[in-house]
Chains A and B, each alone.
Chain A
Amino acid sequence: MRVVRVIPCLDVDAGRVVKGVRFAGLRDAGDPVELAARYDAEGADEIVFYDITASAEGRETMLEVVSRTAEEAFIPLTVGGGVRTLDDARRLLRLGADKVSINSAAVARPELIGEISGTFGAQCTVVGMDVRRSGPGTWEVYTHGGRVATGIDALGWATRCEQLGAGELVLNSMDRDGTRLGYDLELCRRVVEATGIPVVASGGVGSVAHLVEGAVAGMADAVLAASIFHYGEVTIAEAKAALTAAGVGVRPSVTAAPAR
């Protein structure tokens, strides 16, 4: 049975959630730990923290956030942003991250994928790809938050990442990111077909229908979104209901209350 994951992504700067989050009943809507716990309770299948911190001190704060999250949220946690070395990965994994996502550093030094995968396993080695369409049926990899073009073909890079030991790809369309026009479905499908590892669709979600498209037409193994969840436009339960209605297997958002 194929079961598609629904993943809220939080941008974190120096330990604080960047985009305003509108949830009722939160003590501190800027605290990523409290949000992660809330998303766990709502039935999210996984959480991604994307660290956009620039300063070294801020990065230390992120480690503390990861550690606290492991005490409060009991679903998989992926941490990306600023992971440049095997040691960066080690610290995050030791503190409670389940996966680390590497992006620019993997492009700069592809061996890093194999180093992390060889040391900690492919299951925790995620490569984040920021890509832009460069022509009909072709896409180019960008780094540094989408600012630097690399000339690398996205499909080729995806298969190379798999060969080097990546266990998952988070595929972010820079063309769609922030547009609310939906995922780049052709890109997603092409990467899914080119690889054998799970692919997470990212970038452009503006409605619950886009999540469904990502799983069906995009063939993604997981659908990631940020603002529609954070702003309360779509709940995790609504996302799962829509996926279920479209015939996509999901873990129900409300599972039987366990006997305690």
Chain B
Amino acid sequence: MAGPFIAVIDYGIGNLRSAEKALCRAGADARLVTQPADVAAAAGVVLPGVGHFGRCSEALLRSGLWGATVDAVSDERPFLGICVGMQLLYESSEEAPGARGLGVFPGQVALLPAGVRRPQMQWNLLSVRPGSQFLAGLEQGMWAYFVHSFAAPVGDETVATCDYGGPVAAAVEAGHVWGAQFHPEKSSMAGLAALANFVRACSCDSPGLAGGHHLGGEPRVGARGGREG
């Protein structure tokens, strides 16, 4: 019954439980993972992230999962970055000039425009580019929950924007690498629908891995010790 094994990279940042549980609701066997081998075994990989770009970048390095993350991005498995996890797909951020991102997409993450309250902590309407796999079925306009002060540049990879003092990159997609500046796990039914699209992509791409690489044991609260933050 279990859907594809999706590794939610647990590198000590924020509330990852919501992402895990929402992916499970969307049909995945999602688990928080702290070991590179678990990332490597997954049919799909989710990189969450909240708070500060520099702190997330540092934490990912320190966790020993940077390499596994880079591998996941480069070996054609479905990959989804959420919030700062999406920002980490870029080269760098104004928020932490010295810190590096994964550099999948070119450019620097920048502060939201002046004249708007920061962070943007609200729901906003997405303007979705037709043809997006991630937001398939949501082209008519999806409401999504945002919490952020910085945003990626709008580029070829941008598949959705919201209006917040101008167009703000809300979702990106290039092949198997997807990203959401908003929180799909906190965007109610529409967010679950977007996550279901990701789960579906994971099922298609790696049928051999789906459900085959782990033994028993539902991942549940308290089942895994040792994670800080």
Residue ranges of A at the interface with B (Cβ–Cβ < 8 Å): 1-5, 40, 43, 45, 67, 70-71, 74-76, 90, 93-98, 119-124, 167-168, 196-198, 221-222, 251-252, 255-260
Q: Is A98 within 8 A of B15, CB to CB? A: yes
B22: which A residues are within 8 A, CB to CB? 74
Given contacts A71-B21, A76-B186, 13 further A-B pairs with CB under 8 A are A1-B124, A45-B123, A67-B17, A76-B147, A94-B229, A95-B17, A96-B21, A98-B186, A123-B50, A124-B50, A198-B119, A251-B123, A256-B190
Interface residues of B in 82-102 (CB under 8 A from A): none
From the candidates A1, A4, A71, A121, name the one contacting B125 in the complex (CB within 8 A).
A1
Show 8 A/B contacts (Cβ-Cβ < 8 Å), sorted by A: A3-B124, A3-B125, A94-B15, A121-B14, A167-B119, A251-B125, A258-B190, A260-B193
Interface of B: prevailing SS: mixed
Interface stretch of the complex, out of B39-47, B73-81, B134-142, B201-209: B134-142
A119: which B residues are within 8 A, CB to CB? 229
A2: which B residues are within 8 A, CB to CB? 117, 122
- Chain B interface residue count, CB cutoff 8 Å, equals 46
Query: B1 near A: Cβ within 8 Å?
Result: no
From the candidates A1, A5, A75, A97, name the one contacting B15 in the complex (CB within 8 A).
A97
Complex alpha-carbon distance, A257 and B142, angstroms: 10
B55 shortest CB reach to chain A, Å: 8
Residue ranges of B at the interface with A (Cβ–Cβ < 8 Å): 14-15, 17-18, 21-22, 24-25, 50-52, 117-119, 121-125, 136-138, 140-143, 145, 147-148, 162-164, 183, 185-193, 196, 221, 227, 229
Q: Is B143 within 8 A of A121, CB to CB? A: no
The answer to whether A123 and B121 touch (CB under 8 A), given A74-B185, A98-B186, A255-B189, is yes
B63 shortest CB reach to chain A, Å: 16
- The 10 A-B residue pairs with the shortest CB-CB distance, nearest first, are A121-B51, A258-B193, A259-B137, A251-B123, A123-B147, A96-B17, A251-B143, A3-B122, A1-B163, A67-B221
A76: which B residues are within 8 A, CB to CB? 145, 147, 183, 186
Q: Is B186 within 8 A of A71, CB to CB? A: no
From the candidates B17, B52, B122, B138, name the one contacting A121 in the complex (CB within 8 A).
B52
A198: which B residues are within 8 A, CB to CB? 117, 119, 121-122
